[in-house]
Amino acid sequence: MTDDIIRISPPGSFLGEGPLWSARDNAVYWVDILGHKLHRYRLDDQSLKHWVFPEPIGWVIEREKGGFIAGLKSGFTQLTLEPFTLKHIGDPEPQHPDNRLNDAKADKWGRIWAGSLHMPQTEKSGGLHRLEADLTFKHIDGPYQVANGPTFSPDHTKIYHTDSGAGEVYVFDLDADGNESNKRLFVAFNEDTDGSPDGMTTDAQGGIWIAHWGGARISRFKPDGTLDFAVPMPAKQITSMTFAGPNLDRLFVTSAAVDQPDDKEAGTLFEVPHPLLRGHTGLPTLQFGG
């Protein structure tokens, strides 16, 4: 089945992550965290472009006012690409200088939820943080070993969040003001058979899609946490995914080449053909309100 998977970029991204669909730019953005790069793939002309950063970059999220917010090793950062500018907002974890921001998404209230991790991964010092529209930030939960993959239910009454190091995905309830409560287990992975849960996205039908780091596949879970189906992928270390395109019926998947010298597909941006999605489509990308 992996022969049906479309190769969008060349392989080799050390840690491809954080795919983002931009309707504004008709493009998919994704990062190579360890390569310090932001990549862009335009859907109209299939062109590829990248920008180099002075430090690891975990993700970008569009701003309503234009430009992006980026999650850099040094913290939350305002970003423009043309011209290229960076403006530091703040570090949510100054007490942990070896930590970095790892994965993030915006919610319907215009805020960014971002996880973090300890870069050597020898300490459980990561957390879940939230950047408010006024550029202040708040610690939400932790500690985590590898805080990863936030995503939301279509009605924004739930946020799903991963600790890849523990092999667990959690779910919180969200009230009408976006305050979280009632954290509980959503899915637990068996590392020997599943790999580790990594990035996630939600489809318009309420399914939660999870990337399997070390498991060479993506899986769709029903809202009750039961497995619906899986799609095998050509690379072992699958990191995240995003629905894209005008109809949100295309799924782009990132992967990582780090520690995979014999995996010739590792570090490729893939596209899953529409028939393999079984009719599921995505939700519009949300932007940061600040």
Residues annotated as catalytic (active site), given as ranges: 198
What span, in angstroms and rounded, lies between the C-alpha atoms of 142 and 163? 10
What span, in angstroms and rounded, lies between the C-alpha atoms of 38 and 33? 8
Instruction: Find where tokens 């190769």 sit.
Output: 7
From the annotation, which residues make up the binding site for a divalent metal cation? 17, 148, 198
Instruction: Report which of 234, 281, 230, 239 is spatially closest to residue 258, judged by C-alpha positions.
Output: 239
Strands 27-32 and 37-42: what pairing?
Answer: antiparallel
Map residue 44 onto helix, strand or coil: coil
- String of DSSP letters for 167-218: TEEEEEEE-TT--EEEEEEEEE--HHHH-EEEEEEEBTTS-EEEEEETTTEE
What span, in angstroms and rounded, lies between the C-alpha atoms of 36 and 73? 10
Residues 6+ apart with CB under 8 A from 82: none
What span, in angstroms and rounded, lies between the C-alpha atoms of 204 and 283? 5
Q: Burial-class residue 121 by CB neighbours within 10 Å (0-12, 13-18, 19+).
A: middle
User: What's phi and psi for 284, nearest 5 deg?
Assistant: -60, 145
Residues 6+ apart with CB under 8 A from 202: 151, 152, 153, 154, 160, 208, 209, 282, 283
